[in-house]
Chain A
Amino acid sequence: MIERKRSFPIGTSILSFLAILGLVLVVIRFINGLGAVSNLSDGRPWGFWISFDLYSGVALAAGGFTMAGAVYIFNLKKYHSVVRPAVLTAFLGYTLVILALLVDIGAPWYIWHPLVYRNIHSPLFEVALAVMTYHIVLALELSPAVFERLNWHIPLRAIRAIQIPLVIAGITISVGHQSSLGTMLLMATQALHPLWYTPILPILFLSSAVAVGPAVVILESTLSTKVFGDKLELNVLSGLGKAIPYILGIYLLLKLVDLIVRGNLGLIFSAYPQNLLWLGEIVIGVVLPIILLSIPSVRQNRRGVFLGALLVVLGLMLNRFNVSMLALAIRPGYAYFPHWMEVAISAGLVAWALLVIWLAHRFLPIASDKEVAV
């Protein structure tokens, strides 16, 4: 029997409304073309979908590989209980990325083309391949939850047997593809503002994704505590919070040294208004969280860790929006602000994901710490 848990507080009705509205808008997009639902133009060919769904979405899914690595490779058993929710979020994140891309790209019926017409020198080819393979890896990593529910012991045993290779594959693909999203922007030699354009962009992308991994897990666990009532121990949260300043510190150092080496440090003050965006992402997403999460009393406090993690996530999203939208001017003289329908379509997709998470928590052993004996 399935236990009845508390009903969904955000309001299933709001979510359902958003989910259905999104669907309707997607239909309009496919009948009337991209121009009908977006403010994209020849001068601004990438917009909200790329910045939010692809760039932020992939980065925020980094919880999956960082947590799986911490627990299964580095043997930090304390975090075992967060692996499965993190992998579930990553899986849904990647599903969202794929769905959003089906809306964003002009010829989604050809989405399989990168498999046949390969341009191995294109970073986007690498990203496409990684999204596909990592999605499969995540599905496999998640599959024990389904098998446990169904009491299928043989596939469960099979997955357990390849668990470590699977985790290593997941980490390897993620490292490649988190950084490739940065490599992609290296094509924009003229268009990306020099505050962000640097040959080490792939490394910056990777390090910031690793930092945001634990932050997303903190956010997610805190919210799911509120919604589903499965409370996570505070020392797990503070442990995650403690790791963040170190990774962010490395990231900040890389960013600053890079600006100095390229002789562009002065742009922080002179390149108005882009410097405000840059300072915004650094202060919100890097400096403040480093300070906050270094203070033990803040870390030992659920609200404190939550706040620190939230800042990391917001700062990271601002960074991804900066590099893929706000500071990326393909043709001078063109402005871009997302159309409400672009935002609504993304919101619709997120609503679908939340509904699925909610169902998964109700029907699958997601939050359970115990592994079913095989």
Chain B
Amino acid sequence: MGKAVLFDAEICIGCRACELACKEKHGLPMFDLTKQLDALPAETTTNAGTYTKPPELSAYTFLKVGFHEGRDAIGPLTVYSMRKCMHCEHPGCAAACPVGALQKTSEGPVVYDDNKCIGCRYCMIGCPFGIPTYQWDKPVPFIRKCTFCSDWLSEGKEPACVQACAKRTGSLTLGEREEQLAKARKIITDSPDKYVNHIYGEKEAGGTSWLFISSFSLPFEKWGLPTFGSTDPVAVNVDRAMVAIPPVLIGVAAVMAGVYWVIQRREKIRQENTAKKEVTK
């Protein structure tokens, strides 16, 4: 089992340090204050129910902290959600990719290889969370999404967002997936009046390497996350169909050959018969 990050939305204060640390690590546009990173215009603040920025995940934003108005025991307040690649245990994106440019590694991250990708964007269709994004503005474009900082992870360092959060609230923590699940379960059982009794990512899409827990002030439906009817991996129906293909094709070829043979033979017999008749006449 690989690594997993647990996001405890209840203690997140929406400082967005994770978001900006991510942008800094990957050299993505931030805002104009950081002059060294202004090669590309930063996304503007928009009103998406509440004022928030950036508007959505894009090739220039891999992690987004969502702002929502909610209410807890004390009164109304702003509550926070997270949207990013979940690093699925059975990633739809990787199942879809015809060239295997996306791969699940044993450490946990789902990584992408610039040198293989043909740009078909089928991974964007295959991801049940709508996560992969494309560089629409580039003549030589690539798929972009959270990398789990797999380069740092393999050096034994924590991802940029987790490091940044550790210095603030510690809502994001890294650990082995099994341990993280146990930890999340304990947090929920310790404060059952506060937390929704659900670890998002434990079973979703067959399980993910990013796990979310949230308080009643912002249940998961309000995060904009999909709900899954089953705990099957996304590719389950595809796999079933793909497995059927070779025998079906062999069957089709055999039936066609058989039909051809029978019809030709019948034709030949008919011709012989008419020939015979003519002779006997």
Which of A's residues lie within 8 Å of B, judged by CB?
30-36, 38, 40-43, 45-46, 69, 72-75, 104-108, 110-111, 113-114, 117-119, 121-128, 164, 167-169, 171-172, 175-176, 179-180, 183-191, 199, 202, 328, 330-332
Q: In the docked arrangement, what's the CA distance between A164 and B121, Å?
A: 38
**In the complex, which of the residues B125, B259, B267 has the most CB atoms of chain A within 10 Å of its own CB atom?**
B125
Q: How far is the CB of A28 from chain B (nearest CB, A)?
A: 10
Q: Which residues of B contact A187 (CB under 8 A)?
A: 92, 95-96, 122, 125-126, 234-235, 238
Q: In the docked arrangement, what's the CA distance between A189 and B96, Å?
A: 12
Q: How far is the CB of A164 from chain B (nearest CB, A)?
A: 6
Once the chains bind, are B118 and A191 in contact (CB under 8 Å)? Answer: no
Once the chains bind, are B133 and A123 in contact (CB under 8 Å)? Answer: no
Closest to A119 in B: B100
Q: In the docked arrangement, what's the CA distance between A169 and B253, Å?
A: 7
Q: How far is the CB of A360 from chain B (nearest CB, A)?
A: 28
Q: In the docked arrangement, what's the CA distance between A36 and B195, Å?
A: 46
Closest to B95 in A: A121
| Residue B98 CB within 8 A of the other chain | yes
Once the chains bind, are A175 and B121 in contact (CB under 8 Å)? Answer: no
Q: How far is the CB of A11 from chain B (nearest CB, A)?
A: 34
Of B100, B122, B135, which one neighbours A117 at CB under 8 angstroms?
A: B100
Q: Which residues of B contact A331 (CB under 8 A)?
A: 56, 130
Once the chains bind, are A33 and B136 in contact (CB under 8 Å)? Answer: yes
Take A69-B256, A183-B242 as given contacts and tell me if A45 and B96 are in contact as well, using a CB distance cutoff of 8 Å.
no
| Residue B214 CB within 8 A of the other chain | no
Once the chains bind, are B118 and A199 in contact (CB under 8 Å)? Answer: no
Q: Which residues of A contact B117 (CB under 8 A)?
A: 106-107, 110
Once the chains bind, are A123 and B242 in contact (CB under 8 Å)? Answer: yes
Question: When each residue 5-49 of chain B gets 1 if its CB lies under 8 Å from chain A and 0 otherwise, what string results?
Answer: 000000000000000000000000000000000000000000000
Once the chains bind, are A184 and B256 in contact (CB under 8 Å)? Answer: no
Q: Which residues of A contact B140 (CB under 8 A)?
A: 106-107
Q: In the docked arrangement, what's the CA distance between A33 and B142, Å?
A: 11
Which of B's residues lie within 8 Å of A, judged by CB?
56-59, 92, 95-101, 116-122, 124-126, 128-130, 132-142, 224, 226, 228, 234-235, 237-242, 245, 248-249, 252-253, 256-257, 259-260, 263-264, 267
Q: How far is the CB of B260 from chain A (nearest CB, A)?
A: 5
Take A114-B98, A118-B100 as given contacts and tell me if A45 and B124 are in contact as well, using a CB distance cutoff of 8 Å.
yes
| Besides A40-B136, A45-B134, 19 new A-B residue pairs in contact (Cβ under 8 A), listed by A number | A30-B139, A31-B139, A41-B136, A106-B118, A107-B117, A117-B99, A117-B101, A122-B97, A123-B241, A124-B98, A126-B245, A176-B248, A179-B241, A183-B241, A184-B122, A184-B125, A189-B128, A189-B234, A191-B130
Q: Can you report 18 A-B residue pairs in the complex whose CB atoms are below 8 A from each other?
A: A32-B137, A42-B59, A73-B259, A74-B263, A105-B120, A110-B119, A119-B99, A119-B100, A121-B238, A128-B98, A176-B245, A176-B248, A179-B245, A183-B241, A190-B130, A199-B240, A330-B124, A330-B125
Q: In the docked arrangement, what's the CA distance between A45 and B58, Å?
A: 12
Q: How far is the CB of B84 from chain A (nearest CB, A)?
A: 13
Of B122, B237, B242, which one neighbours A199 at CB under 8 angstroms?
A: B237
Q: In the docked arrangement, what's the CA distance between A188 and B126, Å?
A: 6
Question: Top 3 closest A-B pairs, CB basis?
Answer: A106-B119, A35-B136, A125-B98
Once the chains bind, are B245 and A42 in contact (CB under 8 Å)? Answer: no
Q: In the docked arrangement, what's the CA distance between A31 and B137, Å?
A: 10
Take A45-B121, A106-B121, A183-B241 as given contacts and tell me if A168 and B128 are in contact as well, using a CB distance cutoff of 8 Å.
no
Once the chains bind, are B134 and A110 in contact (CB under 8 Å)? Answer: no
Once the chains bind, are A43 and B130 in contact (CB under 8 Å)? Answer: yes
Once the chains bind, are A332 and B224 in contact (CB under 8 Å)? Answer: yes
Q: Which residues of B contact A171 (CB under 8 A)?
A: 252-253, 256
Of A42, A46, A108, which one neighbours B57 at CB under 8 angstroms?
A: A42
Q: Which residues of B contact A121 (CB under 8 A)?
A: 95, 235, 238-239, 242
Q: In the docked arrangement, what's the CA distance between A42 and B61, Å?
A: 12
